[in-house]
Amino acid sequence: MNFILGMVIAAIGMGPVVMIPLVGVGLLKLNFFFGVIVPYAALAIFVIGMIYRVMNWSRSPVPYRIPTTAGQEFSYPWIKSNPIDNPKNTYGVVARMIFEVLTFRSLFRHTKLEYRNTETGPKIDYEWEKWLWLAALAFHYSFLVIFLRHFRFFMDPVPGFVLILEKLDGFMQLGLLPINGLGAPGVYLTDMLLMLALTYLLLRRIYIPQVRYISLPADYFPLFLILTLGTTGILMRYLIRVDITAVKELAIGLFTFHPVAPAGIGVIFYVHLFCLCVLISYFPFSKLCHMAGIFLSPTRNLANTSRIVRHVNPWNYPVKFHTYEAYENEFREHMIEAGLPVEKGLDSEPAKEAEE
């Protein structure tokens, strides 16, 4: 499967995601189905799916303490250790995980291979490359902020932190474009960042030969899905506005278990909502579950105390190994000849065999 086929498959997968709500709401007017039943079903799949996924990981033990130590271990007092990249205790692990989850510390180390074959032999450089890290960070944080901003639809009354987020996110007080007619409503930084970061992540997947080679439809699909989610959201804000009071009515209905599907919400909203539903139900069964998985990664969440504390393997079983006795029995004669100490003299050997 080459990369074009991979993208085509992902795009084909996107077709129904857009078409189903368009037809379902636009033509068949199944507002309640797409506004209430589908979201509840998706939410249930997400919650149960995530529980299943995480508990399934939890069913397998971590038999060995295998942190990837990315810094100086705890050693003598006169050697400076690196308590974050090579944690000595739980505090260190917590710090390491915080940096990993909140700042993508490992990804920050990323460099780009620069290979040149010169007259004097190959030259290998590891070049500065923070774009992947930057785009990943921008994407994840934008998504988080956007998700939290949406709480203005999910919660009543709107909590203060959402208002603050909105203020900060929209601090530029500019429209979509500096053009009369697109001056309001105010643009959110995270909307733009999300789309930019996603576009970058998609382009690098296509452009960088190695990444192109490893990419599966399952890599393009979430990108397409979130791009569509973002696009419909942005369209809804600037170009195809819907009655957002009614949208909130619907959302609040869902989040208070008094579901309603008010009339008069444009179909674009249902496309947006359906994308989200597909996203969250796809979540636990795809690579997106890295969100939970990272917390369980044994190379990151264990302290490097291997030689201090005994890590217990729950399924540790005794193994048969070649004992010293068997070893000496085989080589006793040579050992005595070479002056090596032995447990039993030459004469005691037959006696021992007789005992057995």
Binders of another protein in range 277-306 (CB under 8 A): 285-287, 289-290, 292-300, 304-306
Torsion sign, CA atoms 195, 273, 269, 165: negative
Residue 116 or 354 with smaller CB distance to another protein? 116
Q: What is the DSSP string of 64-130?
A: S------SPPS--TTS---TTTS-SSHHHHHHHHHHHHHH-HHHHT-EEEEEEEETTEEEEEEEE--
Q: Does 219 bind another protein (CB under 8 A)?
A: yes
| Minimum distance, C-beta of residue 130 to another protein, in the bound complex (Å) | 11
Residue 326 or 354 with smaller CB distance to another protein? 326
Q: Does 354 bind another protein (CB under 8 A)?
A: no
Structure tokens at 169: 């996110």
Residue 55 or 354 with smaller CB distance to another protein? 55
Q: Radius of gyration of the chain from Cα atoms?
A: 30
Residue 29 or 80 with smaller CB distance to another protein? 80
Which range, of 27-35, 160-168, 271-279, 345-353, touches another protein by CB under 8 A? 160-168
Q: Does 182 bind another protein (CB under 8 A)?
A: yes
Helix, strand, coil shares of the chain, percent, nearest 5, are: 60, 5, 35
| Minimum distance, C-beta of residue 319 to another protein, in the bound complex (Å) | 5
Contacts of residue 249, defined as CB under 8 A and 6 or more positions apart, other chains included, come to 260, 262
Residue 36 or 50 with smaller CB distance to another protein? 50
In the set 36, 99, 151, 259, which binds another protein (CB under 8 A)?
A: 151
In whole angstroms, what separates CA 89 from the centre of its chain?
25
Q: In whole angstroms, what is the distance from residue 340 CA to residue 262 CA? A: 92
Q: Does 27 bind another protein (CB under 8 A)?
A: no
Residue 272 or 300 with smaller CB distance to another protein? 300
Residue 186 or 354 with smaller CB distance to another protein? 186
Please say whether the beta carbons of 221 and 228 come within 8 A.
no
Q: In whole angstroms, what is the distance from residue 314 CA to residue 61 CA? A: 7
Q: In whole angstroms, what is the distance from residue 277 CA to residue 275 CA? A: 5
| Minimum distance, C-beta of residue 27 to another protein, in the bound complex (Å) | 16
Binders of another protein in range 88-147 (CB under 8 A): 100, 104, 106-107, 109-113, 115, 117, 121-124, 126, 132, 136
Q: Show the CA angle centred on residue 108, arms to residues 104 and 113, nearest 5°.
A: 140
175: exposed, middle or buried (C-beta count within 10 Å: 0-12, 13-18, 19+)?
A: middle
Reported as type and span, the H/E element at residue 114 is: strand 111-118
In the set 32, 33, 99, 154, which binds another protein (CB under 8 A)?
A: 154
Q: In whole angstroms, what is the distance from residue 244 CA to residue 269 CA? A: 10
Length of the chain (residues): 356
Residue 101 or 354 with smaller CB distance to another protein? 101
Structure tokens at 70: 């990315």
Between 316 and 345, how does the x/- string for binding to another protein read (CB under 8 A)? x--xxxxxx--xx-xx--xx-xxxxx----
Torsion sign, CA atoms 166, 170, 176, 180: positive
| Minimum distance, C-beta of residue 35 to another protein, in the bound complex (Å) | 14
Binders of another protein in range 227-286 (CB under 8 A): 239-246, 248-249, 252, 255-258, 262, 266, 285-286
Residue 76 or 354 with smaller CB distance to another protein? 76
Query: Hunting for tokens 């989040």 — which residue is that?
Result: 255
Nearest to 11 by CA among 276, 209, 222, 271: 222
Between 54 and 93, how does the x/- string for binding to another protein read (CB under 8 A)? xxxxxxxxxxxxx-xxxxxxxxx-xxxxx--xx-------
| Minimum distance, C-beta of residue 287 to another protein, in the bound complex (Å) | 5
Which range, of 4-12, 24-32, 189-197, 347-355, touches another protein by CB under 8 A? 4-12
| Minimum distance, C-beta of residue 347 to another protein, in the bound complex (Å) | 19
| Minimum distance, C-beta of residue 124 to another protein, in the bound complex (Å) | 5
Please say whether the beta carbons of 161 and 168 come within 8 A.
no
